[in-house]
Amino acid sequence: MCWHNKKWIYTNLIIIFLFIVGFIGIEAYVYNYNENVYVCNLESKTKDYSITIESSKNWNESAHGYNYGIQYDAFIYNNMNTDIRDWVAYINVPDDCILDSYWNGEFVLEDGIITIKPVVYNKVIEANGKRDIGFVLHSNLLDNIENFEIHFYRLISREKIIFFWVLVFLGVLYIFINIVIIIFNLKTKKIKEQKEEYVNIVNESFLTFANMIDAKDPYTKGHSQRVAIYAKEIARRMGLDEEEQQHLFYVALLHDIGKIGTADAILKKNGKLTTDEREEIEQHVKIGGDILKDFSAIEGIEAGARYHHERYDGQGYTTHIKGKEIPLFARIICVADSFDAMTSVRCYRPKLSIETVIEELKKCSGTQFDPDIVPYMIEMIEDGVAPIEIDKDYLYSQLVIKRKKSRHKSYENVSINTQ
């Protein structure tokens, strides 16, 4: 699993955890809110709820042994945006009173306390609503209410909490975003796979061309591939980005494409070349540049073929440009090309020792080679990554980017030869 997938999974786990904590928090808030007992009496000063009780009428009840019969009407006001549930009212009256009748509740008078419980239809007092209860009391006094209070619970549902809907909205948004991401990743994966296939076709085409070029001379077999490897590694050490490194790799693979226009007899000649033969073989850079001049898909590919034999001091061929006038890719290929030539067996000489090669690189720094590039080539030698012998599958499985993992092979497939 790639790092990005792991990051996505970890992020999702954290978000899901936060959602769970949020919903648990809402449930805990609702539970505590609904299970907390509130008390209101005649002296309570709050805008959320209030109660009143008053005598609406009275009459003589001497026939029943009391001075008065009194009707009391009580009101419970809920001024909140949440309901009140399971309320119970308590009214303190003198001990000698008796309860005659009542309505809108279950009334019990015991030890001077009238306990009133709601009936089925008025157990809940809706938000911003009220309930009325009433009763008739036989008493010898007109003023009998010593205290009146109610105990109740608030009733709130999670749907009435704004934060609940915020979480629901964020949850839906989160699910939607994840669905979009999954769909996007699936489409991107498919496009990426198609792109990899196209890249593989391009890569294999370039390598095929390189093999065709090197096939012209059995002594230089693998030369283009090795130069491409060295050039790419130099570019990496110089700090060029991955795209530039890969472009340089392609450019270096075809740097000698002009040799297809050079006679085999000259390429394979064992002895010293004549002046005419030297002039003909030098034309391979012009031929290569002309072949690639219309290849615009990879920047610098023409310049790599046309200028890789130019010298830093201007004494190269065929345009005699010098210094930084020579394109960077060509300057890098020049060093890599010369290094491979010195460390390879040629028809006219054996390969040179590493000590001799390093000495030659230093001696020609600033004249034949860009002095800013030579140190990277020497560093590669000292690090043991050059020269190399190429396994036949190495380029296809390791150096060419975007290869399928199933086709990758270890770097151990490249044997290091520093002799």
DSSP annotation of 326 reads S
> pLDDT (tens digit, 9 = 90+) per residue, 65-108?
899 999 999 999 999 888 999 999 999 999 889 999 999 999 99
> pLDDT (tens digit, 9 = 90+) per residue, 372-400?
999 999 999 999 988 987 755 555 554 45
CA distance 319 to 305: 13
Q: What is the pLDDT of residue 65?
A: 87
Q: Is the pLDDT of residue 294 over 70?
A: yes
Top-level class of domain 37-159: mainly beta
> pLDDT (tens digit, 9 = 90+) per residue, 307-359?
999 999 999 888 889 999 999 999 999 999 999 989 987 766 788 999 999 99
Domains in the chain: boundaries: 3-32+161-188, 37-159, 191-416
- Residue 63 has, within 13 A of its CA and on its CB side, a CA count of 3
Q: What is the mean pLDDT of the chain?
A: 85
C-beta atoms surrounding 353 within 10 Å: 13
Q: Is the pLDDT of residue 153 over 80?
A: yes
State the angle between helix axes of 328-342 and 374-382 in degrees (0 to 180), rounded to the nearest 10: 40
> pLDDT (tens digit, 9 = 90+) per residue, 186-219?
888 888 777 777 677 677 777 777 777 767 666 5
CA distance 31 to 101: 37
Q: Is 272 exposed, middle or buried, given 0-12, 13-18 or 19+ CB atoms closer than 10 A? A: exposed
Is 96 within 8 Å of 155 (Cβ atoms)?
A: no
CA distance 222 to 398: 16
Q: Is the pLDDT of residue 155 over 80?
A: yes
| pLDDT above 70 as % of the chain | 89
Give the closest residue to 351 by CA, choosing from 339, 340, 360, 343. Answer: 343
CATH topology of domain 191-416: Hypothetical protein af1432 (1.10.3210)
CA distance 189 to 166: 34
